[in-house]
């Protein structure tokens, strides 16, 4: 049984200002919760059904401060994911220490990505290609937004996401900086080095003028049809695929 106070706290964590105040966020669903339990994230509270707890090795529950057994209906009503009927964890945030160059391999730079689903998908795509670091503008949507966490499908555990003023940070790095534009070198013919940065941006506004000045290589995904633009998470996947095929 979940207390009214706990229900209220979980609802609060679905709002950014309360997440920041409490330095906690939500992870929902059996797979993502189990992965989080084996990570180095602190988990103050874990809610789950009897079936969920019966499926978990008790050793990975040792560092959980509070365990609450609930019904599937209770989980569905308290969380933000309708399909979640197994587990929900309240997880402590990691401090945003800031990106520390040099990075190895390629890293992503996100300029003002506002849609939570896009950010989550980009993180998941980065994980697929082995990208360990993503540097984002302060205006980019909150990593700990439940929609972002859900869209990563657990990849937030393996990809570092840093928030920092991009113009200043890009001035401090010596890596080549590739930026996606409608006009640039055809990405299919680009010979990428072993390490660098790829900047992608808000699809309606594109890369901001201040960040554009920091781009050393303008690249484009060739268009063969009539669509006005590509979804930014789709574009990111295409770019990363070419980066690793042509480097």
CATH of the domain at 52: 3.30.1330.30
| Number of C-beta neighbours around residue 34 at 10 A | 20
Average pLDDT over residues 53-82: 89
The verdict on whether omega for the bond into residue 102 sits within 30 degrees of 0, i.e. cis, is yes
Average pLDDT over residues 39-68: 94
Average pLDDT over residues 97-103: 71
Which backbone phi and psi does 118 adopt, to 5 degrees? -65, -45
Q: Which domain holds residue 167?
A: 106-246
Q: The whole model's pTM is what?
A: 0.94
Q: Name the pLDDT band for 30 (thresholds 50, 70, 90).
A: very high
In a domain, 100, yes or no: no
Per-residue confidence (pLDDT) for residue 1, from 0 to 100: 76
Whether residue 122 sits in one domain with residue 235: yes
Cβ 135 vs Cβ 108: under 8 Å: yes
Per-residue confidence (pLDDT) for residue 95, from 0 to 100: 85
Domain endpoint, select from 92, 116, 149: 92
pLDDT tens-digit series, residues 207-237? 999 999 999 999 999 999 999 889 999 999 9
pLDDT tens-digit series, residues 136-155? 999 999 999 999 999 999 99
In a domain, 15, yes or no: yes
| Residue 87 or 205, more confident | 87
CA distances (Å), origin 112, targets 53, 80, 86, 142: 40, 24, 34, 11
Average pLDDT over residues 98-113: 85
| Residue 102 or 169, more confident | 169
Cβ 70 vs Cβ 47: under 8 Å: yes
In the block, which residue shows the tokens 């207390």?
3
Tokens of 199: 């900047």
Is the model's pLDDT at 246 over the cut of 80?
A: no
Is the model's pLDDT at 104 over the cut of 90?
A: no
């Amino acid at each position: 049984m979940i207390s009214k106070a706990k229900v209220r706290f979980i609802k609060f964590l679905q709002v950014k200002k309360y997440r920041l105040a409490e330095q906690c966020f939500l992870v929902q669903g059996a797979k993502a919760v189990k992965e989080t339990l084996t990570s180095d994230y602190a988990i103050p509270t874990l809610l789950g059904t009897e079936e969920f707890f019966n499926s978990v090795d008790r050793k990975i529950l040792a560092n959980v401060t509070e365990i609450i057994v609930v019904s599937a209906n209770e989980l569905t009503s308290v969380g933000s994911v309708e399909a979640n009927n197994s587990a929900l964890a309240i997880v402590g945030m990691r401090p945003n220490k800031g990106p520390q160059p040099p990075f190895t391999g390629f890293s992503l730079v996100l300029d003002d990505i506002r849609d939570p689903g896009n950010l989550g998908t980009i993180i998941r795509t980065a994980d697929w290609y082995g990208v360990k670091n993503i540097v984002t503008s302060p205006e980019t949507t909150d990593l700990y937004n439940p929609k972002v966490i859900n869209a990563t499908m657990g990849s937030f555990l393996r990809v570092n996401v840093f928030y920092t003023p991009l113009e200043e940070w890009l001035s401090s790095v010596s890596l080549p900086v590739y930026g996606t534009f409608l006009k640039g070198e055809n990405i299919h013919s680009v010979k990428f080095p072993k390490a660098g940065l790829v900047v992608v941006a808000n699809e309606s506004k594109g890369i901001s003028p201040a960040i554009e000045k920091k781009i050393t290589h303008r690249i484009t995904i060739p268009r063969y049809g009539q669509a006005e633009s590509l979804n930014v998470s789709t574009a990111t996947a295409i770019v990363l695929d070419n980066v690793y095929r042509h480097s």
